Amino acid sequence: MIRIRHTDENPHEVNEINVTPFIDVMLVLLVIFMVTAPLTTVDIPVDLPSSSEAPTSRPEEPVFLTIQADHSLALGEKSITSETLSSEISAVTKGNKDQRVFLRADKAVDYGTLMSVMDKLRAAGYLKVALVNLQGQEQGSEASTSTGITP
């Protein structure tokens, strides 16, 4: 008579973690992120000249810096050059670097010029810059011409 010998029939505990499902989930997530990442960038040109928010209160003696369509600068009513911006604004604010500067820019001014002027203000020590826009207008309408200040 032949006897078949069975080994111990008690189940043994497996002390290993099966990482295959984990790797599968990670690969699926990687593919999803690779597909959706290029879609999150914005390449749409925008025109941001007006706002419908209520204007904030105007300070007693505001300092207005204007960038005109031809990229010339004006501090208040006085025309200045970009080279003299630092000294002129320091004279107007009496050296007070905490005073807010209200920056007005024509709609035709490109973003690079606006950032260049803001960099010059930052280099001069003026970190509080507010952008001024037209208030209460829908895009493309000329119904209102009130000036608002956007901090």
Taking the C-alpha atoms of residue 149 and residue 130, their distance in angstroms, rounded to an integer, is 7
Overall average pLDDT of the 28-32 stretch:
92
116-143 residue pLDDT tens = 999 999 999 998 888 877 655 444 444 3
What the block records as the tokens of 35 is 């597909």
* Rounded CA separation 151/149 (Å): 6
Query: Which string of b and e fits 131-146 if b means at least 16 CB within 10 Å?
Result: bbbbbbbeeeeeeeee
DSSP for 60-126, please give it: SS-EEEEE-TTS-EEETTEEE-SSSHHHHHHHHTTT-TTS-EEEEE-TTS-HHHHHHHHHHHHHTT-
DSSP 37: G
Residue linked to tokens 């111990």: 8
Read off the pLDDT of residues 35-69 as tens digits, 9 standing for 90 and up: 887 765 545 454 445 666 666 666 677 888 888 88
**Per residue in 56-65, pLDDT tens?**
666 677 888 8
Pick the CATH number of 50-150 from 1.10.10.10, 3.30.420.40, 3.30.420.270, 3.10.20.740: 3.30.420.270
- Domain borders along the chain are 50-150
